[in-house]
Structure 1
Amino acid sequence: MRIIRFAGESGQATLAAVTDEGVVYALPQQHFMELVTLADEQGTEPLALVRQTIEQSSPLAAKLEELELLVPIEAPEVWAAGVTYERSREARNYEATGGKLDITTFYDKVYDAERPEIFFKSTAARTVGPEQPVQLRSDSQWQIPEPELGLVLTRSGRIVGYTIGNDMSCRDIEGENPLYLPQAKMWRNSCAIGPAIRLAETVEDPYQFQLACRIFRGGVLAVEGTASTGQLKRRFDELVSFLCRDNVLFDGTVLLTGTCIVPPNEFTLADGDRIEISISDIGVLVNPVRGGATAEHSA
């Protein structure tokens, strides 16, 4: 069961459930965390409340693909974990050493360390949803999307859902100096989330999600990559435990869990590109690219 938000006839955001058969049912709650909170108050799971609503209502006449989808949750904070996949470590090392992969770096150290890399990524105001443009940073010439599985968390750190995230990144800025990480990761519209939230209780094994990323330029496929959450070096509860450590979480916080799909080193996003990120059983997050970055990076 997936949860979405869409713009209704009056433009008001509407919460809805999507069955595995693609049938859409409007929900009485306005926000995803209201559903979670009500389930907690009644001592049940969100899925049970959704099924109760479905039994007592009729599906929408409109099909899922006909709806104007919004960001499924207005996350008060979005955090992200880095260097959680071997491919990510390789890419970060390439940036930091100029391609000299035989040099041991701090990325190698954090990959094997007890403490993971976790950084602040975005706020609700900086985060966009399906079909909304992600923005290129004007002072970077080497930018890429980072397709990631996102964990939707309660204030206690409980995982209540899974979504798709795009952690837009500036490889040249991060590679120049690790202290520039906030600038390489966080600017307006540098994070996308959607198109749905898969209820956690409906996922048998979260390490079996299949990810894919496709980037189109001028309508032509320019970059394609696939991965699986089974390739993760760290466990989700491990990442969440470090995020919660001496920290205050807000209901609806999203933690992106790192990427295993990195475009070729010579590639950078350009204005007009189209990014499609898919994760099995969640959907496809599509975002156009806006900005003025150059079409190629010279390593």
Structure 2
Amino acid sequence: MRIIRYSNQENKPALAAVTDEDKIYDLPFEDFLEIVRQAEDKESTALQVVEEIISQSLPLEIPYDELSLLVPIEAQEVWASGVTFEKSRDERNYEATGGKLDAATFYDKVYDAERPEIFFKSTNKRTVGPEEDVYLRSDSNWQIPEPEVGLVLGNKGQILGFTIGNDMSCRDIEGENPLYLPQAKVWKNSCALGPAIRLSETVEDPYELEITCRIYRDQEKHFEGTASMKQLKRKFDELAAYLLKDNTVFDGTVLLTGTCIVPPNEFSLRDGDQIEIEVPGIGVLVNSVKSQVSQLVFDRE
């Protein structure tokens, strides 16, 4: 069972449940967290709340692929995990050493350490949803998407659901100095989430999830890569627990779990590229890439 937000016929945000057969049922809630709160009040689960509602409802007639989807949750904060895959460690080493593949760095220590790398990524004002533009940072010449599975968390760190995230990253800025990490990760429209939240109760084994990233340039597929959550070194609960340590975690916080899909080192995103990130059972997150310069021109017009 997936939960989506979409723009209804009155151009207002609406919440809906989507079954595995792509049947869509409107829900009488304004946001995902209202489902969670009602489940707590009834001492049941979010899935049980949704199933009870749709058992007394008729599905919408509009097909799923014709909906105008919105970001599935307006998270106050989005956090992210780094160096959680071997591939990520190797690529961070490449950036930090100028391409010396056999050189060890502090990224090796992080990969093997007890404490994971967790950093602040975004707020709801910097985050976009499906079919919205992600922006390129104007002072970087080496930028890539980082396709990731996102954990939608409760304020006690419980995993409420799973979504897809795009952690846009500047490889040159991060590689120049690790203290530049916030600038390599955080800027306007540097994070995308969607297209849905898969309820955690409906995912038997989250480590069976597979993620695929495709990048299109001039209507041609320029890159494709696939990874499995089985390759993740850390456990989801472990990452959530470290985020929670001595921290205030808001209901609906999203924690991105790291990437194992990295385009070739000579690749950098360009204005007009299209990014597709797919996780079967959650959906496909599609975003176009815009440069800050082209967006400023658009805004003036």
1:41-80 matches, cutoff 5 A: 41-80=41-80
Q: Aligned partners of 1:156, 1:17: CA distance in 2, in Å? A: 24
Q: Read off the aligned partner of 2:85 and give its amino acid letter.
A: Y
* Alignment check: 8 A CA contact 1:271 1:292 kept: no
Distance, in Å, in 2 between the alignment partners of 1:94 and 1:26 is 48
The answer (yes or no) to whether the contact 2:135–2:292 under 8 Å persists in 1 is no
Q: Which amino acid aligns with 1:16?
A: A
In 2, distance between residues paired with 1:163 and 1:289?
20
Equivalent pairs counted in the alignment come to: 293
Find the aligned partners of 1:113 and 1:90 in 2 and give their Cα distance.
Answer: 15
| 1:212 and 2:212 aligned | yes
Residue 209 of structure 1 deviates from its aligned partner by 0.3
Using the alignment, how far apart are the partners of 2:61 and 2:292 within structure 1? 41
CA displacement 1:219-265 (0-9 Å, x = unmatched): 00001100000000000011011000000000000000000000000
Q: Partner of 1:224: helix, strand, or coil? A: strand
TM-score (norm 2): 0.97
Aligned to 2:276: 276
Map Cα deviations across residues 74-97 of structure 1 (whole Å, 9 max, x no partner): 001000000000000011000000
The amino acid across from 1:162 in the alignment is F
Aligned residue type for 1:113 = A
Q: Return the alpha-carbon distance in structure 1 between the equivalents of residues 45 and 145 of structure 2.
A: 34
Residue type matched to 2:192 in 1? A
Q: State the distance in 2 between where 1:40 and 1:202 align.
A: 17
SS in 1 for 2:57: coil
CA distance in 2, matches of 1:116, 1:101: 22
Distance 2:155 2:231 in 1: 28
- CA distance in structure 1 between the partners assigned to 2:45 and 2:33 by the alignment: 12
CA distance in 2: counterparts of 1:153 and 1:136, whole angstroms? 28
Deviations 1:172-198 (A, max 9, x none): 000000000000000000000000000
TM-score, normalised by the number of residues in structure 1: 0.97
Residue-by-residue CA offset, 1:105-125 (whole Å, 9 max, x unaligned): 000000000000000000000
Q: Which residue of 1 aligns with 2:7?
A: 7
Q: 1:83 touches 1:110 (CA, 8 Å); kept in 2?
A: yes
CA deviations on 1:152-205 (whole Å, 9 max, x unpaired) are 000111001000000000000000000000000000000000000000000000
Q: Distance in 2 between matches of 1:64 and 1:76?
A: 27
Displacement of 1:292 in angstroms is 6.2
Structure 2 unpaired stretches of 5+: 294-301
Counterpart CA distance in 1 for 2:157 and 2:239 is: 10
The Cα shift of 1:103 comes to 1.3
Residue type of the alignment partner of 1:127: T
Q: 1:268: Cα distance to partner?
A: 0.2
Q: Does 1:290 align with 2:290?
A: yes
* Partner Cα distance (1:292, 1:101) in 2: 33
RMSD between superposed Cα atoms in Å: 0.8
Report SS of the residue matched to 1:125.
Answer: coil
DSSP 3-state at the match of 1:269: coil
Aligned to 2:17: 17
What secondary structure, in the 3-state scheme, does the structure 1 residue paired with 2:95 have? helix
Give the equivalent residue in structure 1 for 2:298.
Answer: none
3-state SS, counterpart of residue 226 of structure 1: strand
Partner of 1:252 in structure 2? 252
Match of 1:123 in 2: 123
State the distance in 1 between where 2:248 and 2:224 align: 37
Q: Percent identity?
A: 66
State the one-letter code of the partner of 1:52: E
4+ runs deviating over 2 angstroms: none
Retained in 2: the 8 A contact 1:270–1:292? no
Measured in 2, the distance between the counterparts of 1:217 and 1:39 equals 44
Where 2:33 maps in the other structure, the secondary structure is: helix
Which residue number in structure 1 is paired with residue 100 of structure 2?
Answer: 100
Distance in 2 of aligned mates of 1:57 and 1:103: 60
Matched residues in 1 for 2:105 and 2:66: separation? 48
